[in-house]
Structure 1
Amino acid sequence: MDRSEFREHLFRVQDGLQLYARSYGDLRHGRIPVVCLPGLTRNSRDFHELAGFLASPPGGGHFILSLDSRGRGGSERDDDKTRYTIAAETADLIAACGHFGIEKATFIGTSRGGLILHHLIGLAPALIAGVILNDIGPVIEIQGLLRIRDYLNATTRPASWTAAPRYLQSVHGDDFPILREHDWREMAQAIYRDEGGIPVADFDPAIAAQLQALTADTPLPDLWPQFDAFAGLPMMVVRGERSRLLSEATVEKMKRRHPNLAAVTAVGQGHAPLLHLDGPRQAIAAFLQQ
């Protein structure tokens, strides 16, 4: 399969908002489908390279559904900004599975997407055949969250598409020394949309604004009970070697509480790892073949 081949879908969820999704491969082949959930302000384009690979014969020939959460990418912006919540986005995910006729799937959740999966396990456990958490777990490091708050709410923006990869490298380069020039270009194309030749972050600014009240003293939820509910399910966690959001100590504790957990380190990457690069890509393909 050519990795550029995907189908675009628009569908409505419970409150009438129109969401966008991409699909790769054929749902009718009988294998468990794979559903990809992006991070807080990211979108389905983050998974394009990985999805194309996993849908191809070398990657296992899977059906891949990649979603844009409400307010991100090709999905509509919500007039009611209070609905940018994990609870609402979990309900959207359940609605999406219903729309596409998915009764059970393996879910890949990057950051916010992984938090949605911690919520999904309590609402619709029968949907989950397996879980891959990308740089997220039951404990979130507050310093990593504060860094996300700061760069999402920064006033500096790239002035052109030529400048966009260099801008992203200036912000994230220390955490991603493995990335090369073409990786930064691909990241820019995933993060930004074009408005009159200018790259603009492809999400509702209200989503980032929610983080502005965050401080070092903000209490964060304990998600260990939700994590423990994954017991018995095939599970993998990918941690960026330089992640500031998911600690090595948390991964070790996750392994003790879920003895069959497959733990993968994305060398030379921070939060959140690009899953189509060498290392994570092969590990995910092998996990899905089990």
Structure 2
Amino acid sequence: MTAAKIKSVQCCSPTGLHHMSYKEWGDESNPEILICAHGVTRVGDDFDVMAQSLSDHYRVICPDVVGRGRSGKLLDPAMYQVPQYVSDMVTLIARVTAHRDDAQVDWFGTSMGGLIGMALASLPGNPVRKLVLNDIGPTIDPVALRRIGDYIGQDLRFPDFEMAARFVREVSASFGEHTEEQWHKLATDVLRQQDDGQWVRHYDMGLAKPFSAATPESAKADEARLWAAYDAIRCPTLLIRGENSDLLSRDTAHIMTSRGPRAQLVEIPNVGHAPTFMHDDQIAIARKFLIG
């Protein structure tokens, strides 16, 4: 596998500056750019296989959203929300399109990464040319959301890598079938060893704060804002749904095909939340939509 370049860009929040790391695949002079944004506790390394595959056509940019992986942390954990992430991505896009007048990019977003893409693609004058939403929509099942919130907030520490990797595999069972090598990578990407030898998940525990602060009223308001954003999207949109997803319901997915950008829907069998796009057949779905 061709090595990717690790780079970073400085971003701003209301409380200060932070750096966002990103992986870059392909020819850095290539004007065709694909940005791949990961799920809430995952990292840009998730897209290594797909990025390598699509780098024959694209310059592929895979950021670690702030608070995850190689990126910095926010001084105020309450800011770990989509508007801040969108602001960071605008800065990233300005960096990777710095020498071009037409700052267009294609976007692939898994779960949280899809919400970021949805919000960005809804803005007037936005740079998103094609949008892929991987198992996410404006209506998110509240039980699944609570499950994710509880998972994020557990400050777990493991005495060895094997135990930590086993935990990652157990909580990621909904990703579907993977080889032992693939499971090892999925664990390695989101674990790090501390100075005391213990293994922890590679994100800021402050990510849990917005989840714990949520109320039924705020969740309802968030859903209304997400539907308004979705309805404002004008670019071609592909919606991927895991057949067994507990986050994106089949009803919501079908509604998304009839309003807003009227997304094209593809359902992947025997997978829950969310397809990892580490498999050739899944990557082929993205390639067909993005490249043709």
**TM-score normalised by structure 1 residue count:** 0.88
SS at match of 1:123: coil
Question: How far, CA to CA, are the matches of 2:202 and 2:82 in structure 1?
Answer: 19
In structure 1, the partner of 2:154 is 154
2:10 corresponds to which letter in structure 1?
R
Q: Deviations over 1:61-96 (max 9, x none)?
A: 311001111111111112222322211111110011
Moved more, 125-134 or 78-87: 78-87
1:266 corresponds to which letter in structure 2?
I
In structure 2, the partner of 1:208 is 208
Aligned-residue offset at 1:11: 1.7
SS at match of 2:120: helix
SS at match of 1:130: strand
* CA 156–76 in structure 1, closer or farther in 2 if over 3 Å, else same: closer
Query: Does structure 1 conserve the Cα–Cα contact (< 8 Å) formed by 2:243 and 2:270?
Result: yes
Question: How far, CA to CA, are the matches of 2:108 and 2:256 in structure 1?
Answer: 17
> Percent identity between the aligned chains?
28
1:26 corresponds to which letter in structure 2?
D
Aligned-residue offset at 1:41: 2.1
Q: Deviations over 1:82-140 (max 9, x none)?
A: 32221111111001111112611001111111111222134354311010001111211
The CA RMSD over aligned residues, in Å, is 2.2
Question: How far, CA to CA, are the matches of 2:20 and 2:175 in structure 1?
Answer: 31
Q: Which runs of 5+ in 1 are unaligned?
A: none
Question: How far, CA to CA, are the matches of 1:259 and 1:213 in structure 2?
Answer: 31
SS at match of 1:17: strand
In structure 1, the partner of 2:286 is 284
Correspondence 1:227 to 2:226: no
Aligned-residue offset at 1:259: 7.1
* CA 104–152 in structure 1, closer or farther in 2 if over 3 Å, else same: same
Correspondence 1:22 to 2:17: no
In structure 2, the partner of 1:92 is 88
In structure 2, the partner of 1:110 is 110
In structure 1, the partner of 2:250 is 248
SS at match of 2:167: helix
* CA 267–199 in structure 1, closer or farther in 2 if over 3 Å, else same: farther
Question: How far, CA to CA, are the matches of 2:64 and 2:81 in structure 1?
Answer: 14
Question: How far, CA to CA, are the matches of 2:247 and 2:151 in structure 1?
Answer: 14
Query: Does structure 2 conserve the Cα–Cα contact (< 8 Å) formed by 1:146 and 1:215?
Result: no
SS at match of 1:23: strand
Query: Does structure 1 conserve the Cα–Cα contact (< 8 Å) formed by 2:158 and 2:164?
Result: yes
Moved more, 110-119 or 133-142: 110-119
Q: Deviations over 1:221-269 (max 9, x none)?
A: 22222112223x1211111122111011111111122576222223222
Q: Deviations over 1:46-67 (max 9, x none)?
A: 1111111111x4xxx3110011
Q: Identify which of 56, 67, 72 aligns with 1:76.
A: 72
Aligned-residue offset at 1:145: 0.5
* CA 188–159 in structure 1, closer or farther in 2 if over 3 Å, else same: same
In structure 2, the partner of 1:6 is 4
* CA 28–278 in structure 1, closer or farther in 2 if over 3 Å, else same: same
- Count of aligned pairs: 281
In structure 1, the partner of 2:167 is 167
Aligned-residue offset at 1:171: 2.6
Query: Does structure 2 conserve the Cα–Cα contact (< 8 Å) formed by 1:264 and 1:280?
Result: no
**TM-score normalised by structure 2 residue count:** 0.88
1:136 corresponds to which letter in structure 2?
I
Question: How far, CA to CA, are the matches of 1:14 and 1:214 in structure 2?
Answer: 24
Moved more, 73-82 or 178-187: 178-187
Question: How far, CA to CA, are the matches of 1:270 and 1:192 in structure 2?
Answer: 22
SS at match of 2:169: helix
Spell out the pairing of 1:170-181 with structure 2 (5 A cutoff). 170-173=170-173, 175-181=174-180
Query: Does structure 2 conserve the Cα–Cα contact (< 8 Å) formed by 1:240 and 1:269?
Result: yes
2:159 corresponds to which letter in structure 1?
A
Question: How far, CA to CA, are the matches of 1:242 and 1:112 in structure 2?
Answer: 18
Question: How far, CA to CA, are the matches of 2:209 and 2:236 in structure 1?
Answer: 35
